[in-house]
Amino acid sequence: MKPLVIAVAGPSCSGKTELARRLCVLFPGPSPVLFPLDAYYDDLSHLSEAQARRHNFDSPDALEAPLLQAHLRALAAGKAVERPVYDYATHRRGGTERVEPGGLVVVEGLFALYWEDLLPLFAVSLYVDLDDGECLRRRVARDRRERGADEAFTRWQWEAHVRPMADRFVRPTRARASLVLDGAAPPQEIAARAAAAVRAALAASNPI
């Protein structure tokens, strides 16, 4: 049986990852797959540490799109893939990991709804929306907590890459979503609304 494929898009720190993880918990069988687009960032081992830190990670060009698309199509067809393992600390890839298709594939990332030719794969297309001010506040806290980045660097990255790239490449994909969710709402409320859409899609794909 082919899996149901769900897309979760939205700007940086809007709550995409939290929602994607909650959906995998809410639909545990058989073996849901979390498919983060961040795994497909290009290997930057050819750059110095300083150059890599200032790389634009918020453009679709930062991802190996052909491999990403090939892997997603394979999973949607019920085939396993060897997904890259990306290390944020070094901005390098560290081998691959085998991913078996499950009953649900949750595609999560800035550009989940960016590539038009992938849209037919998605049974449900979710977009988590949140205003720039709250996204930045969350990003400052996350970068300090998870990546050891100081606030000055996060704010530089925000103005140089994150916000302008979101305006250009991410926010326009909101129009492609089958359901737009308020990222300022409580996470459990967001997940409940998304889960209802997934249940409807599951019911439509498996009529009694």
Q: Which residues of 135-171 are buried (b: 16+ CB within 10 A; e: fewer)?
A: bbebbbeebeeeeebeeebbbebbeebbbebbeebbb
pLDDT tens sequence across 24-79: 999 987 889 999 999 999 999 999 988 998 999 999 999 999 999 999 999 999 99
- Rounded to an integer, what distance in angstroms lies between the CA atom of residue 31 and that of residue 85? 20
**Residue 63 and residue 41 in contact, taking contact as beta carbons nearer than 8 Å:** yes
pLDDT of residue 98: 97
Alpha carbon separation from 29 to 10, 24, 97, 111 (Å, rounded):
26, 9, 21, 26
- The answer to whether domain 4-203 has CATH 3.40.50.300 is yes
pLDDT of residue 168: 98
Q: Show the DSSP H helices in 27-64 as ranges.
A: 49-53
State phi, psi for 16 to the nearest 5 degrees: -60, -50
pLDDT tens sequence across 10-28: 999 999 999 999 999 999 8
pLDDT tens sequence across 134-182: 999 999 999 999 888 899 999 999 999 999 999 999 999 999 999 999 9
pLDDT of residue 208: 52
Q: Domain boundaries in the chain?
A: 4-203
* Residue 127 parent element (H or E): strand 124-129
Q: Which residues of 18-36 are buried (b: 16+ CB within 10 A; e: fewer)?
A: bbbbbbbeebeeeebbbbb
pLDDT tens sequence across 187-208: 999 999 999 999 999 999 876 5
